Amino acid sequence: MGLHVGIDFGTSNSGVAVFDGSQVHLLPIDPKNLVPQVVKTILYITSDHRHFIGQEAVELYYKQNINRQRRFVKKWSGEIDYHGADMHYVRDIYVYVDELQPGRLLQFIKTALRSEKYTGTQVFDRYYSLSDIIATYLRALKQRAESLLGEDISGVTLGRPVKFSAIPEIDRRAQDTLHEAALQAGFSRVDFELEPVAAALYYELSLNKPANAIIYDFGGGTLDLTIMRLGDPGRRLVYASGGIGIAGSDFDRAIITRRMLPHFGKGIVMHQPEIEKLINTIPDWSALPELSTPLARGELERAIHNGLAPVRLKALEALIFNDLAFSFYNMVEATKINLSSQAAAVARMKEKDLDIWELYTRTQFEKDIHEQQQQIEQVLVDTLAASGLEPAQIDAVVKTGGSSNIPVFSEMLARIFGQEQVKASDLFSSVTAGLAIKAHHSR
């Protein structure tokens, strides 16, 4: 029988930990990362189907893709059968394929679990279902963890948000897919724990008397809330759970939509539906790489030639065709993170034909995410109401997840519960640590 570990499969970051009964050991799963205990939830699949995760994936992606050459070839992809009242014909369908593409980078994999439509993607000559993608990532995590521990790992406790989706069917399907992926990855025993509950288990280690706590788990993909009675392992009580599918990646999208799109022609390019469609696709990280087609390039070149916002459309062309999308999203995320510690930051990206300089203040950011902030506050109030507790009865508000550090949300928590009650747990590892504790008890 092998080990049973806890894995936090997060939207932006993941982690693996084991609990030996007295102490949690967070594994340095990504030695190339600044914080080795955290690995980016990024998968890079090369054209010969080798798989890379975390920082290694990022570095290889940069090395192989930035400013690379492209060669589009027309490939037959299938046919469409037309049936009319008095006619029937078959039409061939062709797609343009970049035959020099060295690999595909997949990120925000977890977000796909809550999508109604996403079932998988074609990666070169193979179709990867969503469970194949997740299994590939988890398999790599498992292998790394096994080599660090020097032992086989047979079981895993995986974290899951309180709600993948508000629609019960999608929520159930998301967990089933994650379960199937974990089995595919080679774990023979798989169980789940709610991520905020896991964070609570870790927080409980630091308690010396029972307390009512809100676990405020705010990461890259979702906000998860759990209100619990902690401190007496024999009498743990979950008062209420809640959550919403708003988190870090939504804030990035808000920044892009409101502040970045004008750099690519938004507001200047009018009555050009094809080009406007390209511009409006920028906030969608998964769709942007698909825009690099000869057709799109032709449209852009024509518009540039005709003097239609040439500098901005040249920037758009560079973003799409020089594989700068990943760097661009990272830059936006870094700007947002900087705003947690300072009142202003510069969103800066300078590449060939692309020069973005945007001074962005915390006030602007708070204005841009005001709507989401209100929704989040409403969920928090609703969850608290569902617990039957008053704010004054909450002894601790435990913040975890990268987005929980955003000042406007810290201020919101302090306003509702009092500054004294707001405690920061380990932002990136408390869920992983809690899952390891749960894994230990499950064994």
Partner 1 sequence: MISPDKIDEWIHEVEERPASAALIIRYIANRLGELAAREEELAAQNIALLNGKKVEEYENRLASLEYQLELLKRQLGGEMVLPTEAPPSQPASEMLSLVLYNPLGQVLRAEIDPLEMSSGQTIGSLAGAPDQDEAQPAILAAPSQEELLLIFTSGRTVAMPASSLAASPAESLDWQQAYLEEPRVKEELAAIQPIARMALYEYCIQASRRGYVKKMRTSFFTSHAAEGYIGTGVKLPADRTYNLAFAGKDDLFVMVSQEGYIFSMPAERLPTAIEEVVHLGITDHIVAAFTVSQKPSILFVTQTGKAVHRDTSWLDPAGTFKTKGQSLLSRERREAGTRIVGAAPVGEGDWGVFLHDDGKLSAYQLNQLLADGSLERGRAASSIVSITTFHMPEVKPQPPG
Task: By CB under 8 A, name the binding residues for partner 1.
Answer: 55, 58-59, 62, 66-69, 71-73, 100, 262-263, 327, 330, 342-344, 346, 351, 357-359, 361-364, 367
Residue 118: Cβ-neighbour burial (10 angstroms; 0-12, 13-18, 19+): middle
Structure tokens belonging to residue 212: 């009512």
Least separation in angstroms between residue 252's CB and partner 1 is 17
Nearer to partner 1, 154 or 330 (CB): 330
Least separation in angstroms between residue 153's CB and partner 1 is 29
Nearer to partner 1, 237 or 359 (CB): 359
Nearer to partner 1, 302 or 362 (CB): 362
Nearer to partner 1, 360 or 417 (CB): 360
What is d(CA 46, CA 19) in angstroms, rounded to the nearest whole number? 35
Asked if 385 and 241 touch (Cβ cutoff 8 Å), the reply is no
User: The tokens 């990666």 sit on which residue?
Assistant: 123
Backbone φ and ψ of 296, nearest 5°: -65, -40
Nearer to partner 1, 351 or 382 (CB): 351
User: What is the torsional sign of CA 101, 53, 11, 329?
Assistant: negative
The alpha-helical segments, DSSP class H, found in 271-369 are: 273-281, 294-305, 310-321, 325-338, 362-368
Least separation in angstroms between residue 85's CB and partner 1 is 39
Least separation in angstroms between residue 188's CB and partner 1 is 36
Structure tokens belonging to residue 282: 């920028």
Provide the β-strand partners of residue 89.
82
Least separation in angstroms between residue 95's CB and partner 1 is 16
Least separation in angstroms between residue 362's CB and partner 1 is 7
Least separation in angstroms between residue 236's CB and partner 1 is 41
Provide the β-strand partners of residue 155.
4, 189
Nearer to partner 1, 69 or 208 (CB): 69
What is d(CA 121, CA 118) in angstroms, rounded to the nearest whole number? 8
Nearer to partner 1, 146 or 351 (CB): 351
Residues 6+ apart with CB under 8 A from 394: 212, 213, 214, 227, 384, 417, 421
Nearer to partner 1, 73 or 381 (CB): 73
Least separation in angstroms between residue 251's CB and partner 1 is 17
Closest CA relative to residue 283, chosen from 333, 244, 243: 333
Provide the β-strand partners of residue 5.
156
